[in-house]
Amino acid sequence: MANKVLLIDDEEEFVTTLAERLTLRGFDVKYALDGEGGLAELEQWQPDIVVLDILMPGMSGTEVLRRIKRQFPDLPVILLSGHGSVRDAIEGMKHGAVDFLMKPVDINELTAKLRDYLQRKKS
């Protein structure tokens, strides 16, 4: 069974392309274009890992991360940002993110990190 990856990012073109590329690499992928939609998808679908944009209109990625960790403390979350700073990365890690990547994300690096964190989760 394929590992389930939930992408939460407000940049539709980016997230649909990323979803396609991860699907081609064997992941079962769904995405949401905002924090509220992401949290709803999380409840219904229960992914194995989440890739979350930090800067989104409405609910920030940091707030989404806090809510995810409150409800699913063991769910790995990788943060993404195209405008991020070291401060954002540190803040995200404090709230339980397992990693932080800058956009544009290298698909091979992201795939390797997803597989690594999913493997750790199983062991």
Residue at 47 is within a domain? yes
pLDDT, tens digit, for every residue of 14-52? 999 999 999 999 999 999 999 999 999 999 999 999 999
pTM of the prediction? 0.95
Residue at 110 is within a domain? no
Q: Which residues contact 104 (CB under 8 A, 6 or more apart)?
A: 82
Report the CATH number that the domain containing residue 19 is assigned in CATH.
3.40.50.2300
Q: Which two tokens stand for residue 87?
A: 């401060």
81 φ, ψ (degrees, to nearest 5): -155, 135
Q: Which two tokens stand for residue 25?
A: 């690499």
pLDDT, tens digit, for every residue of 10-20? 999 999 999 99
Task: Please answer whether residues 70 and 29 qualify as being in contact, where contact means their C-beta atoms are separated by less than 8 angstroms.
Answer: no
Domain of 78 in residue numbering reads as 1-55+74-105
CA 47 to chain centre: 10
**% the chain with pLDDT above 70:** 98
pLDDT, tens digit, for every residue of 60-106? 999 999 999 999 999 999 999 887 677 887 888 899 999 999 988 99
Domain total of the chain: 1
